[in-house]
Amino acid sequence: MNILVKILLSSIAVIIASYLLPGVVVDGFFTAVIIAVLLSLLNVTVKPLLIILTIPLTVFTLGLFLLVINALIILMADAIIPGFEVHSFWWALIFSLVLSLINSLLSDLSKENQK
C-alpha cells in the first residue's frame, strides 16, 4: 500500500512539474504514473551503476555531477515513454530539480496527514 501512495504522489509531482515547465510535456495522468514507475525503476537499477562509474568526476565536482546523472535518467525515460517529452538536457536538469522539490513537499504533507 505504501508503494502505491508513493507512486501516486510521484505521478502528481510529475503532472505539477510539467505544468510549471514549458520544456516538459506529459500527455496525461496515466502517462505520469508510467513516468513515476519508470523513474523509480531507473533510479534503483541504472543510477547506482552510473554513480559507481563516475565516482572520480562526482568527487571532483563535489557531488554536482549527480545532478547531471539525474538529468540523464530523465532523458532515458523520455526516450522510452512515448507520451513524455523533454525538449533538452537543460529542461531535464530543471525538471529533476523541480520534481525533487515537489516530491519532498508532497511527502511532508502526506506524513503530516498520517499523524
Distance, first Cα to last Cα, the chain? 17
Mean pLDDT by 10 residues, the chain (115 residues): 86 94 95 95 95 94 95 96 95 96 87 70
User: pTM of the entire structure?
Assistant: 0.90
pLDDT for res 37: 96
